[in-house]
Amino acid sequence: MSKCQGRSLPFSISQNFLTSSAIIRRLLKKTDITKTDTVLEIGAGKGHITAALLEKSNQVIAVEIDPRLTEYLKNKFDRAENLTLVQDDFLKTPLPTTPYKVFANIPFSRTTEIIRKLTSAKNPPSEAWLTMEKGAAKRFCGKPNDNLNSLLLKPFFNLEVVWHFCREDFHPAPRVDTVLLHISKKTAPDLPFAIRSQYTEFLNRSFKCGLVKPQGLFTQKQIKTALKLAGLSPLEPSGDILYIQWLCLFRCYMDFIIKKE
C-alpha cells in the first residue's frame, strides 16, 4: 500500500503537466532506469509519470505539495506497494539516504532551487532527468559561456539536453521552449568532493570581486604564470574564462594561497 506523510500545504506552485503516456514512455527510454532502481519524482501532479515509473523501477518516492492532488494520488495508487507518497514542499523534504535516481517534470519557477538541492546534497542522485525551460538548461550546461551555476556543477556532474519538447506536449502549454536535461554524477570528478566547499567559496568570491587584486585573489602576473605553467592559453581580453582555466586557477588558489593563510 502507498504511504502518505506530511502536513497539509497550500497549492502555491503552478506547473505544466505531461499527460501523454506515449511521450512519457519515450522519455523513459532515454534513461537507464531499471527494476533495481529507487526513483524520486518531484511534483507528481495527477500521477501520469508516477504510473510509468512504478512499472519501470523498483521503488518510487513521489513528492507532491498540493494536498488535493496528494489525496487523489493516494486513491489512484492505493494498491501500489512500491510507492511512497509524500505531501510536502520538495525543497523542505529530506532526500533519500540510499542510492537513487530522479525523474521529474519540475515547476519552472523552482528550477535553480531544485537543482541546487539535488546537486549539493551529501547523497546526490546518481542521475537525474528534469524537464525545464530551454534557456535555463543551456545556462546550467554553460552554453554559450560558462557562468556561476554551470561552473559549480561541472567538476562533479555531466549535463546534457536529451530531449526537446513540443509545447503541445504539456497541459497547459508553456510559453517557452522546454527540454529534458540529464544530470549524471561523474564517476571520476575533476575535483575531490572533499574540497567542494572551498571551490564554491572560490567561485563566489571571484564572481563577486573579480580575480585580480586588490579585491580579487591574484595579481595579473600570477594568473598569467599559472596558466602558462599548465599549458593553457592566457585569459581572453573579453573576460570570458574557460572551465579548464577556472580549474587551473582554483588549484593554484588551494596550493599557494590557502596554504599560506
Q: Rounded to whole angstroms, what are the CA distances from 3 to 35, 48, 94, 96?
A: 20, 18, 16, 15
Sheet strand arrangement including 178-185 = 3-5, 83-87, 59-64, 38-42, 101-105, 127-133, 178-185, 157-164
- Residue 197's identity, in one-letter code, is S
pLDDT, tens only, 139-193 = 999 999 999 999 999 999 999 999 999 999 998 999 999 999 999 999 999 999 9
Give me the CATH code for the 3-185 domain, please: 3.40.50.150
Dist CA 228 CA 234 (whole Å): 7
Query: Are the beta carbons of 183 and 201 closer than 8 angstroms?
Result: no
Q: Rounded to whole angstroms, what are the CA distances from 183 to 35, 42, 130?
A: 20, 15, 8
Query: Are the beta carbons of 110 and 12 closer than 8 angstroms?
Result: no
Percentage of residues of the chain with pLDDT beyond 90 = 89
pLDDT, tens only, 62-98 = 999 999 999 999 999 999 999 999 999 999 999 999 9
Dist CA 14 CA 19 (whole Å): 15
Q: What are the sequence ranges of the domains in the chain?
A: 3-185, 193-260
pLDDT, tens only, 1-21 = 444 444 433 333 447 899 999
Is the pLDDT confidence value at 231 over 50? yes
- For residue 132, the cross-strand partners are 179
Dist CA 135 CA 16 (whole Å): 17
Dist CA 34 CA 31 (whole Å): 9
Cell of 1: 500500500
Average pLDDT value for the chain: 93
Residue 219 φ/ψ, nearest 5 degrees: -85, 165
